[in-house]
Amino acid sequence: MKKEAIGVSVGMVVFIGIIVVKSSLYTVNEREQVIITQFGEPKGKPVTAAGLHLKSPFVQKVNRIEKRILEWDGRANEMPTKDKDYIFVDTYGRWQIIDPLKYFQRLRDERSALSRLDDILGSETRNTIAKHKLIEVIRTTKDRVPVQQDDILEADRTGTVGILPPITQGRSVMEKEIFEKSRAKLQEFGIELLDVRFKRINYNQSVQERIYIRMISERQQIAERFRSEGAGEAAKIKGNTQKDLKKIESEAYKEVQTIEGVADAKATEIYATAYNASAQTAEFYEFVRTMELYGEILGGKSTIVLSTNSDLFKYLKTVNVEKVGEDGAVIGSP
Amino acid sequence: MFEFEVGGRRVQLQVPKMQARLVLAAGAILLLAIGTLTAVYTVQAEEEGVVMRFGKYIKTEQPGLHLKMPFFIDRVERVKVRRQMKQEFGFGTRGHSNRSQWTEEQNQEKQMVTGDLNSALVEWVVQYRIDKPQEYLFNVRNADETLRDASESVMREVVGDRTVDEVITIGRQEIESESLQKLQELVNKYEMGISIDQVQLKDVNPPVDVQSSFNEVNQAQQERSTLINIANGEYNKVVPRASGEAEQAVTEAEGYATKRINEAEGDATRFTALFTEYEKAPEVTRRRIYLETLQTVMPMLENKIIIDEETKHLLPLLQLNPGGTQR
């Protein structure tokens, strides 16, 4: 009986011992930091080093708080810019709990922290956007010269296509503005804001439609220009076709006439030289040519009336002809 | 035998001595087995193992079989460092390889405002890898989500500095390389342990309502070339032919000239030769030519009337116009 009692009490001591040890030891991993509270009141410094730690058993409670960098993803809020364009701005930020005690006392959990971030970043974003023109939120680099297709640029007459409107501040300056103002406000919550960036910026519905209409008209005037250029270019080519054609044809005509004229002149000269060598050659030419002509022009239904006085028929009446008369031909056509 | 009270009831536990020893031995063996099993672990080929003792980081292990302190003392987290991961923006392919590959907000993701205050729809892919597992695990919560936010922000920053024409057509490569560089810078600044391999643009289009007018510009460009080509075709069809024909006319004229001169020279030579002979006996030759001509001419004439020089009043009898009016 006594032996058994010893066994029971040893068991009890071991059991209680385990519970006490378990309650006074705790681990902290690399992702968290710990605030020890005693009956709800924070005790000692926050524990930020990972590893095994000691605390008073039972009365002290371990409160684990994130040590990593956390994300804040803002809602897309509609807000006006300085030039009264309504846009949806969606921002994100990154933050970290650097003073866990302050954080724990002021906010206690992440939900209330995110709601503070929503309030502060939301209103700072609104303020900054309202102070600047739309283009300042969109563009970043002040001196960037856009690359452009020459023909589209040439075809445009609106003067807006391919042009980046100038900026004085730019996106990153505005991000920095929001960041710096919010950062100061968040420090009292033990939160360090690491950065804020614009994630999405979009037009609201009515602005969007206006933009679309402008884009469509911009493109259409370019398209019209291209078509007109095509027709104009084609007309020019057609004109050139006619010009070249006329030039070629007239030059050929000129050359043909010149060549033929020169040849005709040369032939005339040759004939004249031969036929006009003396009075006799001229007379002989006329005779020979006339004879040839008879052969060509007479014949068929032609009727010839010849007198017996003619050279051909002078022997018809008599053998002795003393006087040779002129031809007395009368030619009539049927 | 153990005896104790629980809630006012007396409980008796009887264990024979031999059996108690057996139970103790079995317990010790079980403890040893579990201890051994939890002390051995493997790291797969594409992974690295991050070892923590009571939550504190101690080392990173390469692939292979390793030992650690047993039970809950050491814990290992495996990170797939050699696997290339992908995030899609503005679209999503079915069957994702990693959890953050795409979201449901694809329409909002791709809508962007360009630097000339136009709109464009941009779809892109980011390929990345975890290169520092320790940073990836301990520095940032939801590193993949943070990467998505950073990627959207960077892409809009780059697109916001470009005209809609650059975004849609000529500036694609520049956008890819610039956003890769900026995203890597940002990720380095965030110390997320992630390295960006690639930023690739996928479909980049004008907004749906505007697409047809952009197509119209392309069509008009094509139309312009077509009209010019047709006109040039017409030119090519007509002009070379005309110059060929012109050359033909000139050559033919040259032929005419040669012919004309040769003929003239021939005629002249013939005449001169004839005249030379004629001069030797002009009277007879002349008569011969005359008679020879008539010899060929006369037979060809249908009607021949020979009248006597002394006969008068013959003319009225002649019907010179047989087809005329008859009395």
Domain positions in chain B are: 2-79, 85-206, 224-295
Distance from CA of B123 to the nearest CA of A (A): 14
Q: Which CATH number fits domain B85-206: 3.30.479.30, 3.40.50.300, 1.10.40.30, 3.10.20.740?
A: 3.30.479.30
pLDDT tens digits, B73-100: 888 888 888 888 899 998 888 776 677 8
* Range 17-56 of A in CB contact (< 8 A) with B: 27-31, 49-52
Q: Which chain A positions have a beta carbon within 8 Å of B290's beta carbon?
A: 291, 311
* Range 99-158 of B in CB contact (< 8 A) with A: 108-109, 111-119, 137-142, 145-146, 149-150, 152-153, 156-157
Strand partners, B204: B122
pLDDT tens digits, B154-191: 999 999 999 998 999 888 999 999 999 999 999 999 88
Helices A171-187, A110-131: crossing angle, 10 deg rounding: 140
ipTM given for this complex: 0.73
Q: Does B71 contact A at CB distance below 8 Å?
A: no
B56 near B134, Cβ under 8 Å? Answer: no
Of A103-107, A288-292, B8-12, B184-188, the one with minimum mean pLDDT is B8-12
Q: What is the mean pLDDT of residues A267-274?
A: 91
Q: Inter-chain contact B290–A311, Cβ cutoff 8 Å?
A: yes
- Higher-confidence position of A327 and B280: B280
Q: What integer pLDDT is reported at residue B12 of this predicted model? A: 62
Q: Inter-chain contact A313–B306, Cβ cutoff 8 Å?
A: yes
Our CA angle for A54, A59, A64, nearest 5°, is 60
> Quick one: pLDDT band at residue A97, thresholds 50, 70, 90?
very high
Q: Which chain B positions have a beta carbon within 8 Å of A317's beta carbon?
A: 308
Q: Inter-chain contact B293–A291, Cβ cutoff 8 Å?
A: yes
pLDDT for B208 beyond 70 = yes
Q: What integer pLDDT is reported at residue A121 of this predicted model? A: 93
Q: Which chain A positions have a beta carbon within 8 Å of B1's beta carbon?
A: 4
pLDDT for B314 beyond 70 = no
pLDDT tens digits, A51-83: 888 888 888 888 899 999 999 998 888 999 998
pLDDT for B5 beyond 70 = no
Distance from CA of B46 to the nearest CA of A (A): 24
> Quick one: pLDDT band at residue A244, thresholds 50, 70, 90?
very high
Q: What integer pLDDT is reported at residue B315 of this predicted model? A: 55
> Quick one: pLDDT band at residue A125, thresholds 50, 70, 90?
very high
The beta-carbon neighbor of A147 closest among B156, B166, B213 is B166
Q: Inter-chain contact B228–A233, Cβ cutoff 8 Å?
A: yes
pLDDT tens digits, A130-174: 999 999 999 998 888 888 777 777 777 777 787 888 889 889 999
Q: Inter-chain contact A51–B55, Cβ cutoff 8 Å?
A: yes
Q: What integer pLDDT is reported at residue A268 of this predicted model? A: 92
Distance from CA of B163 to the nearest CA of A (A): 6
Residue A143 zone, left/alpha/beta (φ > 0; ψ -120 to 50; rest): alpha
Distance from CA of B256 to the nearest CA of A (A): 7
Q: Does B253 contact A at CB distance below 8 Å?
A: yes
Token look-up 């009515």 returns A206
> Quick one: pLDDT band at residue B251, thresholds 50, 70, 90?
very high
Residue of chain A whose Cα is closest to the Cα of B52? A29
Q: Does B290 contact A at CB distance below 8 Å?
A: yes
Q: What integer pLDDT is reported at residue A332 of this predicted model? A: 41
> Quick one: pLDDT band at residue B124, thresholds 50, 70, 90?
very high
Q: What is the mean pLDDT of residues B108-137?
A: 91
Q: Which of A170, A76, A132, A192 is nearest to B107 (CA)?
A: A76
Q: Inter-chain contact A208–B119, Cβ cutoff 8 Å?
A: yes
The beta-carbon neighbor of B160 closest among A139, A226, A274 is A139
pLDDT for B6 beyond 70 = no
Distance from CA of residue A234 to its chain's centroid? Answer: 26
- Higher-confidence position of B172 and A307: B172
The beta-carbon neighbor of B113 closest among A140, A202, A245 is A202
The beta-carbon neighbor of B2 closest among A4, A149, A151 is A4
Cα(B69)–Cα(B48) distance, rounded to whole angstroms? 18
Q: What integer pLDDT is reported at residue B160 of this predicted model? A: 92
Strand partners, A94: A71, A195
Q: What integer pLDDT is reported at residue B3 of this predicted model? A: 59
Cα(B101)–Cα(B89) distance, rounded to whole angstroms? 8
pLDDT for B103 beyond 90 = no
Mean pLDDT over each residue of chain B, to the nearest integer = 85
Q: What integer pLDDT is reported at residue A205 of this predicted model? A: 85
Q: What is the mean pLDDT of residues A121-132?
A: 93
Helices (H), chain B: 17-39, 106-110, 133-138, 143-159, 164-165, 172-190, 208-280, 282-297
Q: Which of A12, A79, A138, A256 is nearest to B119 (CA)?
A: A138
Q: Which chain A positions have a beta carbon within 8 Å of B219's beta carbon?
A: 223
Residue B36 structure tokens: 């051994």
Q: What integer pLDDT is reported at residue A324 of this predicted model? A: 43
Q: Does A272 contact B at CB distance below 8 Å?
A: no
Q: Does A83 contact B at CB distance below 8 Å?
A: no
Fold for A70-225, please state it.
Tetrahydropterin Synthase; Chain A (3.30.479)
The beta-carbon neighbor of A226 closest among B137, B224, B243 is B224
Q: What integer pLDDT is reported at residue A175 of this predicted model? A: 93
At residue A269, what is the residue type? E
Q: What integer pLDDT is reported at residue A296 of this predicted model? A: 82
For chain A, domain boundaries: 2-66, 70-225, 245-297, 300-334
Q: What is the mean pLDDT of residues A30-52?
A: 87
Q: What integer pLDDT is reported at residue A334 of this predicted model? A: 38
Q: Inter-chain contact B260–A305, Cβ cutoff 8 Å?
A: no
Q: Does B214 contact A at CB distance below 8 Å?
A: yes
Q: Inter-chain contact B166–A220, Cβ cutoff 8 Å?
A: no
Of A90-104, A137-151, B40-54, B78-92, the one with minimum mean pLDDT is A137-151
Q: Inter-chain contact B246–A270, Cβ cutoff 8 Å?
A: no
- Higher-confidence position of A144 and A182: A182
Q: Inter-chain contact B220–A222, Cβ cutoff 8 Å?
A: yes
Q: Inter-chain contact A291–B117, Cβ cutoff 8 Å?
A: no
Q: What integer pLDDT is reported at residue A51 of this predicted model? A: 86
pLDDT for B325 beyond 90 = no
Q: Inter-chain contact B235–A244, Cβ cutoff 8 Å?
A: yes
